[in-house]
Amino acid sequence: MIDLKLLQKDFQGVSDKLVRKGVSVELLDSLKKKSEELKTAKVDYETLQAAQNTMSKEFGIYKKEGKDVSELKARVDANKIKITEALEVQRIKQEELESLAMSIPNIPDDDVPDGEDENDNIEIRKVLTPREFNFTPKEHWELAEQNGWIDFERGVKLATSRFSVSFGMGAKLERALINFMLNFNSKRGFEEVSVPSIVNRAALEGTGQLPKFEDDLYKIEDQELFLIPTAEVPVTNLFQDEILSPNQLPIKLTAYTSCFRKEAGAAGRDTRGMIRQHQFHKVELVSITKPEDSDKIFDEMVQTASDLLSALELPHRLVNLCSGDLGFGAAKTVDLEVWLPGQATYREISSVSNTREFQARRAKIRFKDENKNSFVHTLNGSSLAVGRTMVAIMENFQNEDGSITIPKVLESYIN
RNA sequence: GGACAGCUGGCCGAGUGGUCGAAGGCGCACGCCUGGAACGCGUGUAUAGGGCAACCUAUCUAGGGUUCGAAUCCCUAGCUGUCCA
């Protein structure tokens, strides 16, 4: 959630920044008005409540002294009606403000490049050179089927389109990757954690998936519970509504989970293969930091994901997302895109974001900062999306006969 | 699935309608004592919001109700524990 006080204080500055992310000034203006209205309503209510409390105390004294209370009771009753009204006004204002504020995205950092969409993203650097093929490299779905690693039809049979099944070496490789990634991240100081795949509404509001993106989530029928779209949700929300002590920070965690996404609005995109599935495996990094440390840890997380790809000998590049391509909660995002020779293009395999205090404010994650409470910064990043890593291995490590060499670092995990 | 019990501040724990935001203890912080420490003694020690000073509002798992007034009574939900199937 954006800082409403900041919006009051520096409306121009905040709106200038949010316009870059496609938020209209009118929306921000009404947000500012609503927040002022709520304040007034609150003062009104609290004034009446204070009077009520005073009179109630008098009431007790009257009773003790045996005085007549009928006149006082009449006054109190009259005031009570006013309180009920004032409370209702406040409740409505509160709701209006919240629904508005919760749908405003995070303010992008100043160094985020301007732009509309992915075409305006800025490449930071390339890592490793793609290998030269002396034959025409195949795309992963062909290799997956040829090697018997992945069965797309049976995934559809069990669920619906965009589900798949891994067999034999495909399944083994998947498991090997998960283990390898978790171990790798542990060595980099991220503590392993295992979390639920189902979370409640509050958790999703905390990290920003709700209320705006309910259509992208799988909801459990008849319950206010959802399948997680990323481990970022349960892991970040571990600390929801907590006041951490400064010496606990930074908290650096890594988790493996399945992720579930409806992919609403992605019809027709990546329909072949396993680039865009409804269920996929992912190893995630999450950090909770003091504000002054978040830039440093952001770089660490990007580096960890990049090193992971390098360890797997996968050529990739780092991309700084432009303002228009930035996700809802992100102040800054660096994507890692892996080289796919079959498609002769770089495709996203990891996304590292600093949400600064956007999620912390929504999820109420704070720390004691010299006697006063401050919001922490929260960061998240994939390291890595397992399915897409499989895709990258298949395409980059394919041989002319369609067989696939296993990357060296994974050998010990497979045997 | 059924029955019962409980859920109070960082922790333990008192409190069954009226200065209770909450006794007491532990812990923690500071001070005294000490050569230094322990012990002892003293003082302080929840969170959020508004004015941003006095002060005011809210919070004793959550939500609702009764009442002039609720940690205390009633209802619902969640969690924990015990027992029965």
Q: Which nucleotide is nearest to A76 (CA to C1')?
A: B68
Preceding peptide of A246 cis, ω within 30°: no
pLDDT higher than 70, residue A345: yes
pLDDT higher than 80, residue A247: no
Distance A40 CA to B60 C1' (A): 29
Q: Which nucleotide is nearest to A372 (CA to C1')?
A: B47
R_g of chain A computed on alpha carbons: 26
Which nucleotides on chain B have any atom < 7 A from a protein Cβ?
18-19, 47-51, 56-58, 68-69
Kindly state the tokens that stand for A298. Answer: 């952001």
Highest-confidence segment of A69-78, A220-229, A276-285, A360-369: A276-285
Q: What is the largest CA-CA distance in chain A?
A: 103
Q: Which nucleotide is nearest to A53 (CA to C1')?
A: B69
pLDDT higher than 80, residue A235: yes
Give CA–CA dist A279/A274, Å, rounded: 10
Q: Which nucleotide is nearest to A48 (CA to C1')?
A: B57
Distance A192 CA to B10 C1' (A): 26
**Beta pairing class for A225-227 and A191-192:** unpaired
pLDDT higher than 90, residue A245: no
Distance A248 CA to B38 C1' (A): 29
What's the pLDDT band for A58 if we cut at 50, 70, 90? confident
pLDDT higher than 70, residue A48: yes
Distance A226 CA to B85 C1' (A): 33
- Residues facing strand B, Cβ within 7 A: A 5, 39, 42-43, 46-47, 49-50, 52-57, 59-60, 63, 73, 76-77, 80, 243, 366, 368, 372-373
What's the pLDDT band for A110 if we cut at 50, 70, 90? very high
pLDDT higher than 70, residue A371: no
pLDDT higher than 80, residue A265: no
Tell me the catalytic residues of A.
261, 276, 348, 351, 388
**The pLDDT value given to residue A364:** 83
Give CA–CA dist A95/A103, Å, rounded: 13
Closest residue (CA to C1') to nucleotide B49 in the complex? A42
Span A204-215, mean pLDDT?
Answer: 88
Angle at A11 between CA A242 and CA A358, to 5 degrees: 25
Mean pLDDT, chain A, integer: 91
pLDDT higher than 80, residue A223: no
What's the pLDDT band for A306 if we cut at 50, 70, 90? very high
Predicted ipTM of the assembly:
0.82
